[in-house]
Structure 1
Amino acid sequence: MAGMANHLVSSIPILVALLILPLDFTAAQTGVCYGRNGNNLPSAAEVVALCNQYNIRRMRIYDPDQRTLQALRGSNIEVTVGVPNTDLQNIAASQANANSWVQNNIRNYGNVLFKYIAVGNEVSPLRDTARYVNFVLPAMRNIQNAVAAAGLANRIKVSTALETGLLGNSYPPADGVFRNDVTGYVNPIVRFLTENRSPLLVNVYPYFSYIYDKGNIQLPYALFTSDGVVVPGGVRYQNLFYALVDATYAALEKSGGSSVTIVVSESGWPSAGGDTTTVENARTYNTNLIRRAREGTPKRPGRAIETYIFGLFDENLKTPDFEKHFGLFLPNRQPKYQFSF
């Protein structure tokens, strides 16, 4: 957020890390991301039991893993299931392939509460996922057709998960706009979402914004513990998370997506392994994320932001090292922080 330095307010002491605060998933409309990139993780049945124990009612999974879907049967946990990037070309190639995917992974699990199908994750013309760009929208259309043919279009919404790195400008948030070199990819997706009344899934990470721009962003602002920032126009932003969400809303409006709602499909803070990664910072961020997601942003006040915390467990096979430490729980199913849900 270039130009923010002059607007940052001095931080208040970070006291949240000293508190034991509840994470109320139900009230906050907050769920968890269940990644499985580890060789020491509990079984799918144990994971579902853990979520039920802590009253976690929403889960994002990144592929239609059959053991996970079996465990979710009858659990009353709302599920976002992903079409992996590596499957996009096949799904885009024919309606029959999409029909088979929906039959095998959705219709065969009639007692799983599917909410969203995320067709691709962080596919971007700017990253190493660029090779999938041409398949995302055709795959979304084919999955949408298959869901509609199954009579599930009113219950299951089809979307894709984008990253905030696609924004060309994010400060002040009202000036948020997608980069010129990605609008050819993003704008047709926005039209699809508008036509089908589907939300846009967005992965929002103040952590990365902070560590790559410390000259303009203060740590308390990223951790929700600042007094806030008054942006041009006189609006006070209490945290970077709100600013990133509202910048994406502004970009959506400029791309013809004024009616599209944002679902934050990932957000979190690592507890070890990298820059500014401590248990206290992770606990502070996630605890405050729950509360702030309930309240809504300056652009959408009073409207809770459906948010998925990344992630459920530490995943020891991920790289670089800090990527291993986003979990709310250790692989032995013990909460990493001293809090209750």
Structure 2
Amino acid sequence: MRILRFLLLVFSLGLNAVMATAFTGTYGINYGRIADNIPSPDKVVRLLKAAKIKNVRIYDADHSVLNAFKGTGLELVIGLPNGYVKEMSANADHALTWVKDNVKAFLPETHIVGIAVGNEVLGGSDYDLAVALLDAVKNIYNATKKLGIDDRVQISTAHSQGVFTNSYPPSACIFKEGVAQLMKPLLEFFSQIGSPFCLNAYPFLAYTYNSDKIDINYALFQPTEGIYDEKTDLHYDNLLDAQIDAAYAALEDAGFKKMEVIITETGWASHGDQSEPAATPSNARTYHYNLRKRLAKRKGTPMRPKSVLKAYIFALFNENSKGGAGSEKYYGLFKADGSISYDIGFPGLKSSYASSSRVSFQDLGAGKWFGSHSLVLAISAPILVLLFGL
């Protein structure tokens, strides 16, 4: 009888672990909306289905998006913006209300699989915000537990590379002294609830600020000598793998060797300021095309070869209302009108409209993954469309 109870407990825990995983497959995308000219959420759903992209992240919990995703089968990670973190940290009742109104109310029709609490909080300039992060994470998690959805909604937070120091070679990477004291208790909690370490990693930015030291082919997954890490006796033929293994090294140094690293943002801008000469359509296409091939291989990094790499691309659209460097407006795989920014095998929304006589959008809504344009391509050139079916 005791053995039976033990087996049932193990089976139950195994199911919960599977159900609470926010990322299935290897390829996802960030659906940013800091723009006044991008397609409506229902059209975005059609675009995502035509492109066969199932894993999607948004940076808030906008109800028009959550409603548009109802019944689509797309898996959505929503965001608790940084502006809410202090409030959720200080008031567990507010956290419960937020989860009830923005998550529980939409389940199970909208497949919300994760909540990202804040974005790039640690390592930033707001110390009070950084201090508040852990309690905000705990209160949001406890809210999901109280509402009975903790077994299907994973809690996370994404970090910039600003949390690290000494990241070259990868094995030398550790967390910054000012970050480590806040990072360790956060990692301890995530370890307890089975959440990964989420990293925003941009070879584009690393190259832009260190073009005199980094071979652009190394940043773009192109043939290159790469680098050799003497401490681990590992060779790296691309910069993204090195950035990920730097995170693994920092986690191991902090005592969290078993924690998985997931890339929550990575991309390459197609245009930029004069100080960003690598931001070209050609380079962006090369990076994203090669990254899709890299993810399709379902392999790990040199340091963690058995841990299949998962990455959310940044971003779905060019966003014309973003501030900062000129490149910030041009990370999209698609232009604001839904046409492709450059060709890496995805069908554009405008192309689908133009060929709508072949396959109706009603068909797409019924769960058929191919849009009309992609169906035409599939007939004429199946390898182009189906090579990366992730």
TM-score, normalization by structure 2: 0.78
Q: Distance in 2 between matches of 1:145 and 1:254?
A: 29
**Is 2:268 the counterpart of 1:269?**
yes
Q: Could you list the runs of 5+ residues in structure 2 that have no partner in the other structure? A: 1-22, 347-390
Q: Distance in 1 between matches of 2:148 and 2:83?
A: 27
- Contact 2:234/2:303 (CA < 8 Å) preserved in 1? no
- Contact 2:76/2:113 (CA < 8 Å) preserved in 1? yes
**Which of 47-56 and 130-139 deviates more?**
130-139
Q: Deviations over 1:290-316 (max 9, x none)?
A: 222332201121432121000000000
- Contact 1:162/1:202 (CA < 8 Å) preserved in 2? yes
Q: Distance in 2 between matches of 1:162 and 1:148?
A: 24
Partner in structure 1 of residue 284 of structure 2: 282
Partner in structure 1 of residue 131 of structure 2: 134
Q: Choose from 332, 357, 375 the match for 1:327.
A: 332
Q: In structure 1, the residue corresponding to 2:178 is in which secondary structure?
A: coil
**Which of 236-245 and 289-298 deviates more?**
289-298
Q: 1:28: Cα distance to partner?
A: 6.0
Q: In structure 2, the residue corresponding to 1:158 is in which secondary structure?
A: strand
**Is 2:81 the counterpart of 1:77?**
no
Q: 1:286: Cα distance to partner?
A: 1.0
Change (3 A) 1:120 1:30: same
**Which of 114-123 and 146-155 deviates more?**
146-155
- Larger Rg, first or second structure (1 or 2): 2
Q: Distance in 1 between matches of 2:64 and 2:250?
A: 38
- Contact 1:205/1:241 (CA < 8 Å) preserved in 2? yes
- Contact 1:80/1:117 (CA < 8 Å) preserved in 2? yes
Q: Could you list the runs of 5+ residues in structure 1 that have no partner in the other structure? A: 1-25
Aligned residue type for 1:316? N
Q: In structure 2, the residue corresponding to 1:148 is in which secondary structure?
A: helix
Q: Deviations over 1:217-263 (max 9, x none)?
A: 11111111133222214311011100000110110111122221111
Q: Distance in 1 between matches of 2:291 and 2:345?
A: 15
Q: Choose from 288, 292, 295 the match for 2:294.
A: 292
Q: Choose from 52, 60, 65 the match for 2:62.
A: 65
Q: Distance in 2 between matches of 1:279 and 1:28?
A: 27
Partner in structure 2 of residue 5 of structure 1: none
Alignment of 1:52-201 (within 5 A): 52-110=49-107, 111-125=109-123, 127-201=124-198
**Is 2:38 the counterpart of 1:41?**
yes
Q: Distance in 1 between matches of 2:331 and 2:92?
A: 37
TM-score, normalization by structure 1: 0.89
Q: 1:49: Cα distance to partner?
A: 1.2
Q: Distance in 2 between matches of 1:229 and 1:185?
A: 32
Aligned residue type for 1:312? L
Identity of aligned residues (%): 37
Change (3 A) 1:263 1:256: same
Q: In structure 1, the residue corresponding to 2:301 is in which secondary structure?
A: coil
**Which of 151-160 and 128-137 deviates more?**
128-137
Q: Choose from 224, 227, 230 the match for 1:229.
A: 227
Aligned residue type for 2:327? F
**Is 2:308 the counterpart of 1:304?**
yes
Q: Deviations over 1:267-306 (max 9, x none)?
A: 0000001311100100111111122233220112143212
**Alignment root-mean-square deviation, CA:** 1.6
Partner in structure 2 of residue 239 of structure 1: 238
- Contact 1:69/1:112 (CA < 8 Å) preserved in 2? yes
* Bigger relative CO (Cα 8 Å, ≥ 6 apart): 1
Partner in structure 1 of residue 215 of structure 2: 218
Partner in structure 2 of residue 255 of structure 1: 254
Alignment of 1:197-208 (within 5 A): 197-208=194-205
- Contact 1:28/1:291 (CA < 8 Å) preserved in 2? no
Q: In structure 2, the residue corresponding to 1:265 is in which secondary structure?
A: strand
